[in-house]
Amino acid sequence: MTELNGKKYDLSKAKDRTKYWTQYAADKLLGKTIIKVEYYTSKEAKGAMWYSRPLCFQLDDLTWVFPMRDDEGNDGGALAYGEDTFPVLGVEDEK
**pLDDT level of residue 2 (50, 70, 90 thresholds):** very high
- pLDDT value at 80 more than 90: no
38 and 16 together in one domain: no
Q: Is 73 helix (H, G, I), strand (E, B) or coil?
A: coil
7 and 39 together in one domain: no
| Residue predicted with more confidence, 3 or 82 | 3
Dist. CA 32–CA 41, nearest whole Å: 24
pTM above 0.85, yes or no: no
Domain span including residue 11: 1-30
Dist. CA 90–CA 85, nearest whole Å: 16
46 and 85 together in one domain: yes
Q: Is 55 helix (H, G, I), strand (E, B) or coil?
A: strand
Number of structural domains, the chain?
A: 2
21 and 36 together in one domain: no
pLDDT value of residue 81? 78
25 and 59 together in one domain: no
Dist. CA 30–CA 60, nearest whole Å: 11
38-63 tens-digit pLDDT: 999 999 999 999 999 999 999 999 99
pLDDT value of residue 26? 93
26 and 47 together in one domain: no
